[in-house]
Structure formats: structure tokens, C-alpha cells
């Protein structure tokens, strides 16, 4: 796998996740309305910084509802163009996605997750690498994304490792029993099988903590860990309705494969 193909696959897969996320907001705009937790009045009241009055008015005009939907629409169009390719200059599409990711993150600190953060990092770095346009910049981008993925997985695994709730096996049943990240009735079923839940919890911990081994340079180890991690995200998609995690994290896999094969 050469660097150009790895970069293309990384931003294309991440672009699918961005398109899915933007489409969810466009089809359910009430999630950004003034009465929601992710609204601009809530985000504005929680910001620790102040801006000059003219700038503050401009920011307020941009972030208020329904004006913010323009940002979401631009984000969706740029993501689709990134996935399809050749519809617009890559640096323009990447710049739009990076800028809207940062702006929407500033608008509200609520309603985002690790997939959104990883996606933002990928597109910000991809924009600068594409703007530079050299082979070295593409290599730096790929190694940075691979290292960021290892850091994200290991940090998640270590946080679970030091958590008594995760080590005891109670975490999975509790999460799957919530309204936001589970199905009614599934949580109690998992919780009622304490031994199986504990084994599943430790399997997640071991996989996430061991994930940095993808970069040891042994292709079989890399392929195995990537397959297991992909199955983990696929399960989260099916059972927890985490629609963007699969795309954001699997977008790092081409970069990891490039670095491993190098």
C-alpha cells in the first residue's frame, strides 16, 4: 500500500462517518434547537472565554439556531465530496470539514464523543498535509493517525482497567441497559450472566490495551488486532447504535497498515 492510497482511504472512510453524523443532524434538527442540551444558549453559557463585542455578535449569528444548520449542510456536502472524490479540490473539502468540526465543537461541549474527537483530529491534520502536498507530509500524516489510534485505544483500555466497575463486569450490563446506548431488556439479560459479562469486559480491556501492538511490524498480529477491533465497533454499532465509531476508528486502519508494512 503506497502513501497516496493510504491517505485516500483514511479520509474517505472518515468522511463516511462525518456524512452520517451530519445527516443525522439534518434529519433531526431539533437536536440543535434552543431547547436541546446541545443548543447554543447552553454552549454560550458554559464557555469560559469572552470575545470583543463585534466578534461575539458574529459568532452568535453563526451559532444560533437555525443558522447553525448551514454549517452542518456544508459539512455534509464536503464529506460526500471527500468520499466520492474528484468533485472538488481535496484541500477545500478537508478544510471545510476541519473548520466545521472545530466550530461545532466550540458551539457546544455536549453531545460529542470519542468518534467526533478522532474525526476532527484526522481532518485537521489531513488538511495541513494536503495543503503542503509533499510525500513527507503524507508520511507524517499517516504515522500521526496510526499513533493517535494506538493512543485512543490504549487510553480507553487503561481507563477501563483501573475502573472497579469494568473489572467486575457490571459495566456492560449497565451501559446496555441505558436508553441512549442500549436496548430495553438487553441490559438486565447481560447483568444476569455475571460471569459472561465479566469475561466480555476483560476481553474489551485486553483488546484495547494490546492494540498498540499493531505497530510492532508483524503483519499477522496487526491483521488480527484490527479484525478484533473492527468486530468490537461493529457490535457497538448494532447493540449501542454508535453509528460513527465504526467509521472514525476504522478510518485509521489504512494508516496503521501502511506504517506496519513500512
Predicted pLDDT of residue 118:
93
User: Does one domain contain both 221 and 251?
Assistant: yes
Predicted pLDDT of residue 46:
77
User: Does one domain contain both 160 and 252?
Assistant: yes
User: Does one domain contain both 95 and 147?
Assistant: no
Out of 133, 163, 184, a domain closes at 133
User: Does one domain contain both 128 and 144?
Assistant: no
Most confident of 40-44, 45-49, 232-236: 232-236
User: Does one domain contain both 23 and 114?
Assistant: yes
What pTM, to 2 d.p., does this model score? 0.91
When divided into structural domains, the chain yields a total of: 2
Out of 133, 168, 190, a domain closes at 133
| Residue 259 CB partners (closer than 8 Å, separation 6+) | 142, 143, 146, 215
Out of 133, 158, 181, a domain closes at 133
User: Does one domain contain both 63 and 91?
Assistant: yes
Query: Residue 8's domain spans which residues?
Result: 1-133
Segment 7-21, tens digit of pLDDT: 999 999 999 999 999
User: Does one domain contain both 183 and 73?
Assistant: no
User: Does one domain contain both 113 and 187?
Assistant: no
Question: Torsion angle of alpha carbons 250, 110, 181, 117, nearest 10°?
Answer: 10
User: Does one domain contain both 98 and 34?
Assistant: yes
Better-predicted residue by pLDDT, 42 or 156: 156
User: Does one domain contain both 105 and 157?
Assistant: no
User: Does one domain contain both 44 and 166?
Assistant: no
Segment 114-163, tens digit of pLDDT: 888 999 999 999 999 999 989 999 999 999 999 999 999 999 999 999 99
User: Does one domain contain both 120 and 171?
Assistant: no
Amino acid at each position: 500500500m503506497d502513501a497516496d492510497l493510504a491517505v485516500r482511504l483514511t479520509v474517505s472512510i472518515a468522511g463516511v462517518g462525518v456524512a452520517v453524523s451530519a445527516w443525522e443532524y439534518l434529519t433531526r434538527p431539533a437536536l440543535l434547537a434552543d431547547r436541546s442540551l446541545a443548543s447554543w444558549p447552553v454552549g454560550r453559557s458554559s464557555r469560559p472565554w469572552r470575545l470583543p463585542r463585534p466578534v461575539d455578535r458574529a459568532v452568535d449569528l453563526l451559532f444560533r439556531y437555525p443558522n447553525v444548520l448551514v454549517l452542518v449542510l456544508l459539512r455534509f456536502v464536503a464529506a460526500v465530496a471527500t468520499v466520492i472524490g474528484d468533485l472538488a479540490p481535496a484541500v477545500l473539502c478537508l478544510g471545510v470539514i476541519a473548520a466545521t468540526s472545530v466550530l461545532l465543537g466550540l458551539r457546544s461541549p455536549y453531545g460529542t464523543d470519542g468518534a467526533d474527537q478522532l474525526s476532527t483530529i484526522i481532518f485537521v491534520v489531513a488538511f495541513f498535509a494536503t495543503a503542503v502536498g509533499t510525500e513527507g507530509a503524507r508520511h507524517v500524516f499517516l504515522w500521526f493517525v496510526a499513533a493517535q489510534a494506538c493512543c485512543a485505544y490504549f487510553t480507553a483500555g487503561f481507563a477501563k482497567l483501573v475502573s472497579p466497575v469494568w473489572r467486575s463486569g457490571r459495566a456492560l450490563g449497565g451501559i446496555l441497559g441505558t436508553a441512549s446506548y442500549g436496548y430495553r431488556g438487553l441490559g438486565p439479560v447481560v447483568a444476569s450472566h455475571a460471569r459472561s459479562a465479566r469475561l466480555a469486559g476483560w476481553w474489551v480491556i485486553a483488546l484495547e490495551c494490546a492494540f498498540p501492538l499493531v505497530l510492532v511490524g508483524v503483519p499477522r498480529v496487526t491483521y488480527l488486532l484490527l479484525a478484533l477491533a473492527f468486530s468490537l465497533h461493529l457490535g457497538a454499532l448494532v447493540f449501542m447504535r454508535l453509528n460513527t465509531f465504526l467509521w472514525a476508528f476504522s478510518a485509521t486502519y489504512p494508516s496503521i497498515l501502511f506504517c506496519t508494512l513500512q
